[in-house]
Structure 1
Amino acid sequence: MSKITRIAFTAVALLSSLTVQAAETAHVTSNPYGIDALWAQGDIVARGTLIILLIMSAATWYVGIVKLLEQRRLLKQGRELLAVHGAELQKRAS
């Protein structure tokens, strides 16, 4: 084996041993204040609240996206109106 190959194998072996040691010392911690814990330990009121919040969030996103699309449509119509009748509208305004 060449010197570079031996160095590469040594580096891979060293990294794999460090990874195994790190995995052995790592502790899995769970968040007692997270949504998973609330759903697992919550009663009907907590779960109902989460469901209502989810529905309200979805409705908010729906309204926001619909209003954004509506605003884009109206701005496009306004630009088209100005392109066709812009000079006439300015003449009437003055």
Structure 2
Amino acid sequence: MAELEQLGFDNLTGVDTSPEMIRRALSLHPTLRFTTPAEFSPSPASFDAALLFAVRHLHLRRVQDERRGDLPPPLPRSASRSSLDRRPSQG
């Protein structure tokens, strides 16, 4: 959002389900607006676009699993990234 603000967009609102993430966002970007979905109730004509950024917290989960001793074994070195890629081949 900070990059959008630098480009001249001035009516920006960040929405997150986590109050902790909202506090963090406000501490990093105090000039921007952030809210939870429950507090966000714009009229349909009040915005031109909605952007969705989904971040999976796999790293954090892995760290938590490591601390509990619940970590699954790593993939064998023979498992290349391409063997995990499920996209159809081009050609």
Q: TM-score, normalised by structure 1?
A: 0.25
- Name the one with the larger helix percent: 1
Q: TM-score, normalised by structure 2?
A: 0.26
- Name the one with the larger strand percent: 2
Relative contact order, higher structure (CA 8 A, sep 6+): 2
